[in-house]
C-alpha cells in the first residue's frame, strides 16, 4: 500500500514536471512570436528582409542560445512534427490565400498555373532525382534505395507557397503573384501526391502500366480534391443564406465559416485526397458566395480573423524550422564528415535551380503561344522573377524529409541524417538568400511598373481584400457592369477561339447570375428586412 502510494506520488511529480516544462516552452515560444511581430513591423520598409526571414533568423539565434545554455545537448524547445504542421498550421495559411486571392487574375491564368504546378513539378522532380542519383554515386553518402532517391525529387520539387506570400505583393505585381503563388499551391499538392505515390508503389518494377496508374491516380486526386473544396464552400454558403444566422449572432456565422473550411481540409485528409487543394478552393468559393451572405460585421471579422490566423501560423512555422535547424542529434551523425553534408546541400541547391529553369522558361514559351495579346504574354524578365521567386524551399520540404528519413523525428542512419541536415541547410539558405534577393530583383527587372494597369488588373470587388468597394446597391459593384468593356460577346467562331478566357469568363458570369447566385447567394444578395429569413419570397435583390 505504502509502495503504491509512493509510486503514485512520484508519477504525479513526473507529470507535473513535464507539464511545467511544456508551459515554460510555450511561454518562451509565445514570447518569441511577439518578438517576431514587433521586429517584422520595425523592418517593414526594409527592402531585404521580410517576416519569414526575420522569424527564421530569430529561430536560429534562439536555437544557438538554448544550445549554449544546455551545454550542447539540445537546441529546441519543441521538436518538429509533421502532424502539427500538416494538421494545424498549414490549413489556415492555404485557406486564407484562397479566400484573399484575386479570383479573376487567378482563373485567367489557370491553365498556365496548372502547367507550372503539375507538369513543372514532374519535370523538376525528374531532374532532381536523376541529378541526385548521379551525384550521390561519387559522394560518400551511404546506401540510398530507389524509393529514397525518387522521394528526394518530390521533397525538393516542393516550392514554399508561404514564402511566396511574403516576397511578392498581390497589389504591386498581380500577374506574378497569381502565377507564382497559384503554382505554389498546385505544386505543394502535386509534391505530396507524388511523395505518397512513391511510398505506395512497388518501385522495383517500374513499367508503363505503373506510370499510367500513377497519372490516373494524380488526375483523380486533383479533380476530387478540387470538387470537395468547392462543394464544402457551396454548402456553407447555402446554410448561411437559408438560415440567415446573422440575425441572431455574427459569432455563429464566423464560427461556421471557420469550422466548415477546416472540415473540408480534414475530410480531404480522411479520404486520402489533397487537403491543400481542397481548402484552397474552399476559400475561393467561400469568398465568392458565403462571404457576401453574412452580415457586414461578420465580413470585417472574417477578413481579419482569417488573415490573423494565417499570419500567426506562418510566423510559427518559420520560427519552428529555425529552432529545429540546430538539432544536435542530427548533426552528430554528420560531424565526422561535414564536407559531405555541405557538398550534398550544394548539389541539391544546384539541382533546384536547374530543375526550376527546365520548366519555367519552356512552359512560359508554350503559354505565350496560346495568348494573342502582347500584354497577356509573360515577358522574359517576368519569367526570370517567376523562376527566382519559386526557388525557396520551406516547411513542406521539411515535413516530407522527416517523413521519409526519420522515425518520430529521430534517425540513427548516417545517410538519413545527411539527407535531413541537407534539407535543413537548403531550406535555410534558399529562404534567407533567395528570399532576401527577390524584392531587389523585382525592382531591378521591373523598375517602371505600370501602377494603373496593375490596379486595374487587381481590381476584383468580389474579393474580400477589396473591402473599400461598395458591397451592395451601387452600379460600380454590379456584376453586369463589371468588366463589360473587356468581355464582349464574340462575333464569330474565330473571335471566340482567339479569346477563350474572355469567352469562358462571360459564359461563367451568365451561368453564375442565372443559377448559382439565386441558390447560394453571393454579391447582390440582401435580406429584405433585418432578421428576415432569406428564403422568403423576394428575399434577395439583384443590382
24 occurs within a structural domain: no
- Residue 410: φ, ψ to 5°: -125, 155
Q: What is the mean pLDDT of residues 343-352?
A: 92
- Cβ distance 311 to 63 under 8 Å? no
More confident residue, 114 or 543: 114
pLDDT of residue 342: 84
Give the C-alpha distances (Å, rounded to integers) separating 103 from 90, 373, 402. 21, 20, 34
pLDDT digits 0-9 by tens, 179-195: 888 888 888 888 887 88
DSSP states of 166-214 as a string? HHS-TTTSHHHHHHHHHHHHHHHHHHHHHHHHHHHS-TTS--HHHHHHH
Say if residue 526's pLDDT is above 70: no
CA nearest 486: which of 472, 501, 474? 501
pLDDT of residue 235: 94
Q: In angstroms, rounded to a whole number, what is the distance separating the alpha carbons of residues 368 and 101?
A: 23
Average pLDDT, the chain: 77
Residue 524 burial class via C-beta count within 10 angstroms: exposed 0-12, middle 13-18, buried 19 and up: buried
What pLDDT band is residue 472 in, cutting at 50, 70 and 90?
A: very low
Least confident of 47-56, 143-152, 304-313, 475-484: 475-484
What pLDDT band is residue 229 in, cutting at 50, 70 and 90?
A: very high
What pLDDT band is residue 263 in, cutting at 50, 70 and 90?
A: very high
C-alpha cell read off for 6: 509512493
397 occurs within a structural domain: yes
533 occurs within a structural domain: no
DSSP states of 333-362 as a string? TTTT-HHHHHHHHHHHHHHHHHHHHHHHHH
Write a three-state SS string for 207-264.
Answer: CHHHHHHHHHHHHHHHHHHHHHHHHHHHHHHHHHHHHCHHHCCHHHHHHHHHHHHHHH
Q: What's the CATH code of the domain at 199? A: 1.20.1530.20
pTM > 0.85: yes or no: no
Say if residue 422's pLDDT is above 50: yes
pLDDT of residue 205: 66
Structural domain of 165 = 82-328+346-445
- Residue 463, classed as helix, strand or coil, is coil
111 occurs within a structural domain: yes
- Cβ distance 253 to 245 under 8 Å? yes
Distance of CA 173 to the CA centre of its chain: 18
Q: In angstroms, rounded to a whole number, what is the distance separating the alpha carbons of residues 11 and 46?
A: 52
Say if residue 170's pLDDT is above 90: no
Among 37-46, 68-77, 108-117, 230-239, name the most confident range: 230-239
Q: What is the mean pLDDT of residues 188-210?
A: 75
* Beta-ladder partners of 477: none
pLDDT of residue 47: 66
138 occurs within a structural domain: yes
Give the C-alpha distances (Å, rounded to integers) separating 218 from 53, 119, 230, 332. 33, 11, 18, 39
pLDDT of residue 492: 53
Cell 428576415, located at residue: 532
336 occurs within a structural domain: no
Question: What length does the chain have?
Answer: 543
Say if residue 161's pLDDT is above 80: no
Say if residue 5's pLDDT is above 80: no
pLDDT digits 0-9 by tens, 477-521: 333 333 434 445 555 555 444 455 667 777 888 888 888 888 888
Say if residue 243's pLDDT is above 90: no
- Cβ distance 316 to 53 under 8 Å? no
DSSP label at 67? H
Give the C-alpha distances (Å, rounded to integers) separating 309 from 32, 265, 267. 16, 16, 20
Q: In angstroms, rounded to a whole number, what is the distance separating the alpha carbons of residues 82 and 392?
A: 19
Q: In angstroms, rounded to a whole number, what is the distance separating the alpha carbons of residues 140 and 159?
A: 28
Q: In angstroms, rounded to a whole number, what is the distance separating the alpha carbons of residues 3 and 342?
A: 55
- Residue 48: φ, ψ to 5°: -100, -40
Q: What is the mean pLDDT of residues 273-287?
A: 91
pLDDT digits 0-9 by tens, 361-412: 999 999 888 877 777 788 899 999 999 988 888 888 888 888 888 765 556 6
Report percent pLDDT > 90 for the chain: 18
Number of structural domains found in the chain: 1
CA nearest 318: which of 498, 57, 118, 140? 57
b/e 178-191 (16+ beta carbons within 10 angstroms → b): bbbbbbbbbbbbbb
Amino acid at each position: 500500500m505504502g509502495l503504491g502510494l509512493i509510486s503514485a506520488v512520484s508519477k504525479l511529480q513526473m507529470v507535473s514536471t513535464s507539464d511545467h516544462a511544456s508551459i515554460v516552452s510555450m511561454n518562451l515560444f509565445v514570447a518569441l512570436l511577439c518578438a517576431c511581430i514587433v521586429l517584422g513591423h520595425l523592418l517593414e520598409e526594409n527592402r531585404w528582409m521580410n517576416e519569414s526571414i526575420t522569424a527564421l533568423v530569430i529561430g536560429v539565434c534562439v536555437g544557438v542560445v538554448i544550445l549554449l545554455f544546455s551545454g550542447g545537448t539540445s537546441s529546441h524547445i519543441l521538436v518538429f512534427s509533421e502532424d502539427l504542421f500538416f494538421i494545424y498550421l498549414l490549413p489556415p495559411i492555404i485557406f486564407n490565400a484562397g479566400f484573399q486571392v484575386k479570383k479573376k487574375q487567378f482563373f485567367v491564368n489557370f491553365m498556365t498555373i496548372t502547367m507550372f504546378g503539375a507538369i513543372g513539378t514532374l519535370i523538376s522532380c525528374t531532374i532532381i532525382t536523376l541529378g541526385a542519383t548521379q551525384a550521390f554515386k561519387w559522394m560518400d553518402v551511404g546506401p540510398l534505395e530507389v524509393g529514397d532517391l525518387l522521394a528526394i525529387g518530390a521533397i525538393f520539387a516542393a516550392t514554399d507557397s508561404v514564402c511566396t506570400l511574403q516576397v511578392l505583393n498581390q497589389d504591386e505585381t498581380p500577374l506574378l503573384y497569381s502565377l507564382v503563388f497559384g503554382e505554389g499551391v498546385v505544386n505543394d499538392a502535386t509534391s505530396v501526391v507524388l511523395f505518397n505515390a512513391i511510398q505506395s508503389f512497388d518501385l522495383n518494377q517500374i513499367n508503363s502500366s505503373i506510370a499510367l496508374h500513377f497519372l490516373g491516380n494524380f488526375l483523380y486526386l486533383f479533380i476530387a480534391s478540387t470538387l470537395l473544396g468547392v462543394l464544402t464552400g457551396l454548402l456553407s454558403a447555402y446554410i448561411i443564406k437559408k438560415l440567415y444566422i446573422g440575425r441572431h449572432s455574427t459569432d455563429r456565422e464566423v464560427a461556421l465559416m471557420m469550422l466548415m473550411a477546416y472540415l473540408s481540409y480534414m475530410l480531404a485528409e480522411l479520404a486520402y485526397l489533397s487537403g491543400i487543394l481542397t481548402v484552397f478552393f474552399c476559400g475561393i468559393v467561400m469568398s465568392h458566395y458565403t462571404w457576401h451572405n453574412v452580415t457586414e460585421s461578420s465580413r470585417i471579422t472574417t477578413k481579419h480573423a482569417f488573415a490573423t490566423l494565417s499570419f500567426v501560423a506562418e510566423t510559427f512555422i518559420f520560427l519552428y524550422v529555425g529552432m529545429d535547424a540546430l538539432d544536435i542529434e542530427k548533426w552528430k551523425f554528420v560531424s565526422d564528415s561535414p564536407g559531405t553534408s555541405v557538398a550534398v546541400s550544394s548539389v541539391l541547391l544546384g539541382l533546384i535551380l536547374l530543375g526550376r529553369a527546365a520548366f519555367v522558361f519552356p512552359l512560359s514559351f508554350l503559354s505565350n503561344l496560346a495568348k494573342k495579346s502582347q500584354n497577356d504574354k509573360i515577358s522574359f524578365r517576368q519569367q526570370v522573377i517567376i523562376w527566382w521567386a519559386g526557388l525557396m524551399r520551406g516547411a513542406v520540404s521539411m515535413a516530407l524529409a522527416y517523413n521519409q528519413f526519420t522515425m518520430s523525428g529521430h534517425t540513427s542512419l548516417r545517410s538519413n541524417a545527411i539527407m535531413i541536415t541537407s534539407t535543413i541547410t537548403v531550406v535555410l539558405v534558399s529562404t534567407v538568400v533567395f528570399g532576401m534577393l527577390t524584392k531587389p530583383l523585382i525592382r531591378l527587372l521591373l523598375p517602371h511598373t505600370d501602377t494603373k494597369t496593375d490596379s486595374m488588373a487587381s481590381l476584383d470587388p468580389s474579393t474580400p481584400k477589396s473591402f473599400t468597394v461598395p458591397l451592395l446597391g451601387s452600379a460600380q459593384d454590379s456584376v453586369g457592369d463589371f468588366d463589360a468593356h473587356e468581355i464582349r460577346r464574340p462575333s464569330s467562331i474565330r473571335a471566340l477561339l482567339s479569346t477563350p478566357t474572355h469567352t469562358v469568363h462571360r459564359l461563367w458570369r451568365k451561368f453564375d447570375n442565372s443559377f448559382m447566385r439565386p441558390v447560394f447567394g453571393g454579391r447582390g444578395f440582401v435580406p429584405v428586412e433585418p432578421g428576415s429569413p432569406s428564403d422568403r419570397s423576394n428575399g434577395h435583390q439583384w443590382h
